[in-house]
């Protein structure tokens, strides 16, 4: 069974588009990346999954339950890390964690203590005095301390230093190994590429690609850099062509044989072909409206 | 009741400050009575000659030379308006502050139904109003005792009972408004409290109060009416409580279906 399923999920804020006709499946136990630039609809989808907003149309299920009808049952089994960590003023970290556990009718002191120690978070500190990283760590402990089946993380690493980011992803991998599903929304592409097995890309409220990250990164495309000359400009499948006096670089997707034929007909002195990274492909999709996906 | 306790903790400083400020003003007003009593004949004469303003403050029907009459006029203004402002501010921020302070995301992603959140927050607002009114009643009775006068227990209890109903009604009205707001609302709450107060003054000055007495909760807190009748007027009280119940129902209706930003 999938941890998250949406079918034609649409959300409009008045006339403003949030997400449109989003159909998505996140397998259980998966570390799933959700990629898109600011304003693409990532947070809208997450808010709909958490029952913070009501969908205008379509359906969404989390852990096999309807997000509108079974909101409380879902939230009891989900941990959420918001992009912006905000807490009630005047409270200490320990009090925030106790309140969060209390709202779940749980005693999470042991888990909270272990997580604070691991993330080097002082539970005696006042939340108003915490740095951005400190507030993020408090949110992480809030999201993880009740050992949820599904973690929904919205831009989770903002404010964390590189060492802490590494620790955080180690934590996620441990939880995943224990069976937790992780839904990671981010615009930091290497983060998704290095951590997630599968991902979906959202643009202007619509899912434009979804699947294994290795496939998305490749998407059938190759980064080709050649030294010399070849008539490749009119070749179908050539994108992002940049020419220099010494040669050319481009992304190529499609049948490899016409490319090899074009290169053989030219005067090529050197050639490299490599898999483009996700960031390169992602930027290309956004620049050219998703051509070639 | 975790959220209820959390709300009480969050509101503790405000409750203490408002109770101390209104209580101190009340104590000073009531404490001045023995000194003022000798001058009340002259003051009473002056008040009686202020035309419609005399009626606006109910002084055409009150003997400010008695502790009960003096308490109803002087203490009443402090208790009525001071408590009303606190109740309005507490009610109007109860639900909206979570979106204003961006804590709504954290609170509403815990397994609590929206109705439960409304219930616990409303209970916290009412508990804080009750705590303030209980403390002010203690301050009023203690100060009245210290004046050395015979304390008109029944009159003072009736007056405080009316103020408690006033504060509860305003707290509920503002709580209802809070469900529709996304940002603060302090101005709205204070404006509503002050507006209701002035509406009552207008109603008192008009030849016919008409329906105004059923709109403003200050109408059933009129010291002159309460002391004359030796009871609260059930009509305006019932209208006020019905209005409060409608506001609470609106809060449930709106908040349970609201998109949280």
Q: For residues A213 and A192, what is the distance between their CA atoms, to the nearest angstrom? A: 8
Q: What is the pLDDT of residue B46?
A: 65
Instruction: Report the length, in residues, of chain B.
Output: 261
Please answer yes or no on whether B106 and A89 come within 8 Å at the CB atom.
Answer: no
Contact: A52, B109; criterion CB under 8 Å = yes
Specify the pLDDT at position A98: 97
pLDDT (0 to 100) of residue A292: 40
In this complex, the residue of B101, B109, B257 whose CB is nearest that of residue A75 is B109
For residue A101, what pLDDT is reported?
97
Q: Which residue would you say has higher pLDDT here, B199 or B135?
A: B135
In this structure, is residue B181 part of a structural domain?
Answer: yes
Q: What is the pLDDT of residues B35-45, one digit of tens each?
A: 877 776 666 66
**pLDDT tier at B201 (50, 70, 90 boundaries)?**
confident
Average of per-residue pLDDT across A13-36: 94
What's the pLDDT tens digit per position in B10-33? 999 999 999 999 999 999 999 888
Nearby residues of A271 by Cβ (< 8 Å), 6 or more positions away: A224, A225, A226, A227, A263
**How is residue B198 written in tokens?**
């002035």
CA A39 to chain CA centroid, Å, is 14
Pick the residue with more confidence: B46 or B196? B196
pLDDT on residue A289: 52
Write down the pLDDT at residue A236. Answer: 85
Mean pLDDT computed over every residue of chain A: 90
Please give the Cα distance from B80 to B166 (Å, whole number).
8
Confidence band (pLDDT; 50, 70, 90) for B209? low
Q: Give the 3-state secondary structure of residue A189.
A: helix
Q: Rounded mean pLDDT of B223-239?
A: 91
- The residue-averaged pLDDT of A228-244 equals 87
ipTM associated with this complex: 0.86
Task: Select the residue from A13, A102, A141 to test the B interface by mutation, using most B Cβ atoms within 10 A.
Answer: A102
Q: Is A283 on the interface with B (CB under 8 A)?
A: no
A12-15 long-range contacts, Cβ below 8 Å, gap at least 24? A12/A56, A13/B259
A50 in reach of chain B (CB within 8 A): yes
What residues of B are in the A interface, CB distance below 8 Å?
A: 2-3, 6, 10, 101-113, 257, 259-260
Domain tally, chain B: 1
pLDDT at A291 over 50: no
Least CB–CB distance from B2: residue in A76, A84, A99 = A99
Separation in Å, CA of A101 to nearest CA in chain B: 9
* A195 vs A215: CA distance, rounded Å: 15
Higher per-residue confidence, A1 vs A115: A115
Q: Report the pLDDT value the prediction gives residue B180, as an integer from 0 to 100.
A: 95
- Domain membership flag for residue B214: yes
Using H for helix, E for strand and C for coil, what is the string for B179-238? CCCCCCCHHHHHHHHHHHHHHHHHHHHCCCCCCHHHHCHHHHHCHHHHHHHCCCCHHHHH
Instruction: Look up the domain containing B156 and give its range.
Output: 2-256
- Model confidence band, residue B149 (pLDDT cutoffs 50, 70, 90): confident
Res. B76: pLDDT tops 60: yes
Is B251 within the bounds of a domain? yes
How far is Cα B144 from Cα A81, in angstroms, rounded to an integer? Answer: 55
Give domain status of residue B261, yes or no: no
Between A and B, how many residue pairs show a Cβ–Cβ distance under 8 A?
62
Mean pLDDT of A143-163: 94
């Amino acid at each position: 069974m999938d941890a998250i399923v949406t079918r034609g999920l649409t959300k409009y804020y008045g006339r403003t588009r949030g997400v449109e006709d989003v159909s998505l499946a996140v397998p259980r136990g998966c570390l799933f990346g959700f990629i898109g630039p600011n304003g693409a609809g990532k947070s809208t989808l997450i808010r709909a999954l958490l029952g913070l907003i009501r969908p205008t149309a379509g359906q969404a299920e989390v852990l096999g339950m309807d997000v509108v009808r079974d909101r409380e049952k879902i939230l009891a089994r989900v941990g959420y890390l918001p992009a912006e960590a905000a807490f009630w003023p005047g409270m200490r970290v320990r009090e925030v964690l106790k309140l969060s556990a209390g709202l779940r009718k749980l005693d999470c002191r042991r888990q909270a203590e272990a997580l604070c120690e691991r993330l080097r978070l002082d539970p005696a500190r006042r939340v108003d005095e915490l740095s951005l990283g400190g507030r993020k760590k408090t949110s992480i402990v809030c999201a993880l301390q009740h050992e949820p089946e599904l973690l929904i993380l919205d831009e989770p690493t903002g404010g964390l230093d590189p060492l802490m980011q590494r620790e955080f992803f180690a934590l996620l991998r441990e939880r995943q190994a224990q069976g937790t599903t992780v839904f990671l929304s981010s615009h930091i592409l290497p983060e998704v590429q290095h951590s997630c097995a599968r991902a979906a890309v959202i643009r202007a409220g619509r899912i434009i690609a979804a699947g294994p990250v290795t496939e998305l990164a490749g998407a059938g495309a190759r980064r080709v850099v050649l030294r010399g000359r070849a008539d490749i400009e009119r070749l179908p499948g050539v994108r992002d062509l940049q020419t220099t006096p010494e040669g050319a670089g481009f992304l190529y997707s499609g049948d490899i044989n016409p490319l090899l034929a074009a290169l053989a007909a030219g005067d090529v002195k050197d050639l490299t072909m490599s898999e483009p990274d996700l960031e390169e492909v992602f930027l290309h999709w956004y620049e050219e409206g998703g051509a070639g996906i | 009741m975790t959220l209820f306790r959390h709300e009480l903790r969050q509101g503790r400083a405000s409750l203490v400050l408002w109770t101390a400020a209104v209580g101190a003003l009340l104590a000073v007003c009531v404490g001045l009575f023995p000194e003022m009593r000798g001058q009340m004949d002259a003051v009473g004469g002056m008040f009686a000659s202020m035309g419609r303003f005399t009626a606006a403050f109910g002084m055409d029907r009150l003997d400010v030379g008695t502790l009960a009459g003096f308490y109803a006029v002087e203490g009443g203004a402090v208790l009525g308006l001071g408590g009303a402002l606190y109740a309005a501010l507490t009610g109007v921020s109860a639900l909206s502050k979570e979106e204003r302070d961006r804590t709504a995301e954290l609170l509403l992603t815990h397994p609590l139904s929206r109705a439960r959140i409304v219930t616990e927050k409303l209970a916290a607002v009412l508990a804080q109003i009750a705590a303030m009114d209980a403390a002010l009643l203690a301050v009023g009775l203690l100060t009245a005792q210290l004046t050395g006068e015979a304390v008109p227990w029944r009159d003072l209890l009736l007056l405080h009972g009316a103020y408690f109903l006033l504060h509860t009604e305003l707290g509920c009205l503002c709580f209802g408004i809070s469900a529709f707001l996304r940002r603060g609302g302090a101005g709205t709450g204070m404006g509503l409290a002050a507006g209701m107060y002035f509406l009552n003054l207008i109603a008192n000055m008009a030849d016919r109060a008409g329906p105004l007495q059923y709109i403003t909760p200050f109408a059933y807190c009129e010291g002159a009416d309460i002391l004359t009748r030796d009871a609260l007027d059930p009509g305006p009280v019932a209208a006020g409580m019905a209005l409060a119940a409608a506001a609470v129902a609106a809060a449930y209706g709106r908040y349970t279906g609201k998109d949280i930003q």
